[in-house]
Amino acid sequence: MIQRVDLHTHSNASDGTDTPAELVTRAHEAGLKAVALTDHDTLCGLAEGKATADRLGDIEFVRGVEVSTGTEQGEMHILGLWVPEDAGPLEEALAEMRARRGERNQRILDKLDTLGVHITMDEVLAQAGGESVGRPHIAMALQARGYVKSITQAFDLYLGSTGKAYIPKDVMEPERAVSLMSGIGCSVIIAHPMLKPYPPGWIDEFVKRLLPFGLCGIEAWHSEHTDADARSCIGIARRYHLCVSGGSDYHGLNKPRIHLGIGYGSLMVTTDAFALLKHWREEQGLPC
């Protein structure tokens, strides 16, 4: 029997809907052998997730994070797996990002106000379960007040890049993100690189650009990747001697069709793939 893991998930510490404890419990109930919690730009759910996994037993918990970075081709997300408990330099950088994001959130609310759409920061914060507060929580507040019928409509009308209240996001440079994470012993992985079309060869160039800073892997298996996408990622990994990772990008009810461990139903990240990631870390003298 093939056993699965899921190395890309989100709790309500960022833009998911499950608490970290609920997420790990669901992963355990689904029979997963390991789960990584990789909330956006925050580490605040990791202690709760780890404590739950320890209590349940028979599931390995991987401390992770997904950092938002900016490139000439738009935003790129970078995963850090096996974040140590003492992650001082990374925590400081993420706190700076969240502070700037808080300023952006207020500017979005101010812009909404000029459009006759009145919600308060307290209403937004009430939708957030952790430190990482952003547009998804504004969207939830808009829905709760009846201004929109769905999160999707909130982004289409107001919060997306073509929305009436859109404010560009302040993100980290990818080189800095990779350097910070690799510097504290994380396995650093480019997340879902095939989600949008890039110019031919751009992903290869992006990989080569980040290798000197400690990039070690690429996410091939993802809910939104096709089989061809996964093969392309594996090809890139072979060309540059990278690890291969994968996960569902689970967000709970915010992406209700994506399920832990299986994505839309056919996703499979095996314990063998997980073992290879751990073997790479052992060869580098890094703890798992």
Q: Which of 76, 65, 67, 5 is nearest to 37 (CA)?
A: 65
Domains of the chain with bracketed CATH: 20-87+173-283 (3.20.20.140), 94-159 (1.10.150.650)
Determine the Cα–Cα distance for residues 10 and 174; give it in Å rounded to an integer: 21
Q: Go through 129-157 and write b for each residue having 16 or more CB atoms within 10 A of its CB, e for each that does not.
A: bbbbbbbbbbbbbbbeeebbeebeebbeb
Alpha helices in the chain (DSSP H): 20-29, 46-56, 88-114, 121-127, 135-144, 151-154, 174-183, 202-210, 227-240, 271-283
pTM: 0.90
161 Cβ contact list (under 8 Å, min separation 6) = none
DSSP 45-66: THHHHHHHHHHH-SSEEEEEEE
The separation between CA 44 and the C-alpha centre of its own chain, rounded to angstroms, equals: 14
Q: What confidence score (pLDDT) does residue 62 get?
A: 99
Determine the Cα–Cα distance for residues 156 and 98; give it in Å rounded to an integer: 24
DSSP-assigned beta bridge partners for residue 217: 189, 243
Q: What confidence score (pLDDT) does residue 132 get?
A: 73
pLDDT in tens, the chain (288 residues): 789 999 999 999 998 999 999 999 999 999 999 999 999 999 999 999 999 999 999 999 999 999 999 999 999 999 999 999 999 999 999 999 888 888 999 999 999 999 999 999 999 988 886 677 889 889 999 999 999 999 899 999 999 989 999 998 888 999 999 999 999 999 999 999 999 999 999 999 999 999 999 999 999 999 999 999 999 999 999 999 999 999 999 999 989 999 999 999 999 999 999 999 999 999 999 999
Q: What confidence score (pLDDT) does residue 217 get?
A: 98
